[in-house]
Amino acid sequence: MCGRTACTLNADDISKSSRYRDKSGKEKDPEWKLNKDKYNPSYNKAPQSYCPILINEKHLSDNVKVENNRVIVGMRWGLVPNWFTGENVNKMSFSMNNARSDTMLEKRSYNIPLRKGQRCVVLADGFYEWNTTKDGKQPYYIYFPQDLTKTAETASENVETDKKLLTMAGIFEKTFHDGEDLYSFTIITVDSHPQFSWLHHRMPAMLVNDDEIRDWLDHENIPLAKAVELIAPKDCLAWHSVSKFVNNSRNNGPQHYQCIQHEAVAKKKNEGKAMMKWLSGGATKSKTESSKPATPQVKRKASKPMDNWVKKTNRYSTAGKAKS
């Protein structure tokens, strides 16, 4: 299954990170065509949010001469069938966030858009999965292994655009709702590869190279029967445990980097912060105490009974002198 993703690049960098070669061999950055303004970068994307989706440009035009270019469309996560007539799509069940590969050709909601060639590629930095342990559910962040061989000479100026994005096979639908076209999608899932099955029994259907992406999107030249051969478990992922901070879907802003941070690193940093805070507090206290002025030594006064006795003695002594 796939119920939470991270997609942190801004819209323009997503386009650069999705660069591909067209049929002539020329490099191209897919152009954003729709809903660029509805996409917001996030370390914790949940269903109903807008995500960047690759589709064939022919789906957006009636012109048969349009090239098989890849374009990006911001789409709502959670497929909305084209026959949906409800007033509020947000009240729909979350059951269409993922489409099982073994039943997607049987279910009307998925079969119809697939027959129309509405195949798409879902882009993300990574996704999250939870492993059940004796201590509860442990979250993991899953992603494509990154190319660590790039040097300062070979890497682009913006290192973020060198990030290898996940490319997951999906199905999209267009529904006219609330006075406008609503584009929505679902992620296709398959039985997990044996290398991943310890974490979860399902995984997204990954498209691992540019040829697979091209064939999945080329609905005119690659028939559905051939395209579905790409939908299979693949050993192509890396992962690490993360803190349970990600469990709260409200921690979903571009500032919530700790969602993807390795649990051990996050724990070490938190311990370091706690130690620094403790040391800072101790130093402040010592400084405050040492800056206090010394308490002056005050001469102890005689007790009141002693004062009275001295006064009385002096009075008697003065009276005797006066008589004599």
Confidence grade of residue 151 (pLDDT, cut at 50, 70, 90): very low
Task: Assess contact for 79 and 96: CB atoms under 8 A.
Answer: yes
Torsion angle, alpha carbons of 259, 265, 266, 270, to 10: -170
DSSP secondary structure letters along 241-306: EB-GGGGSTT--STT-GGGTSBHHHHHHHHHHHHHHHHHHHHHHHHHHHHTSPPPPPPPPPPPHHH
3-state secondary structure of 188: strand
- For the chain, the average pLDDT equals 83
Domains located in the chain, CATH noted: 4-246 (3.90.1680.10)
Give the model confidence (pLDDT) of 205-223 as tens digits: 999 999 999 999 999 999 9
Give the integer Cα–Cα distance in Å for 59 and 63: 10
27 is catalytic: no
Mean pLDDT of 92-107: 88
pTM: 0.79
3-state secondary structure 51-62: EEEEEEHHHHCC
2 is catalytic: yes
3-state secondary structure of 237: coil
Q: For residue 100, is pLDDT > 70? A: yes
Given 57, 129, 173, 263, the catalytic residue: 129
Mean pLDDT of 307-315: 47
Q: For residue 152, is pLDDT > 50? A: no
Give the model confidence (pLDDT) of 28-85 as tens digits: 999 999 999 999 999 999 999 999 999 999 999 887 677 889 999 999 999 999 888 7
| CB burial of residue 14 (10 Å; 0-12, 13-18, 19+) | buried
- The encoded tokens of residue 229 equal 């051969």
Write the Ramachandran bin of 179: left for phi over 0, alpha for psi from -120 to 50, otherwise beta.
Answer: left
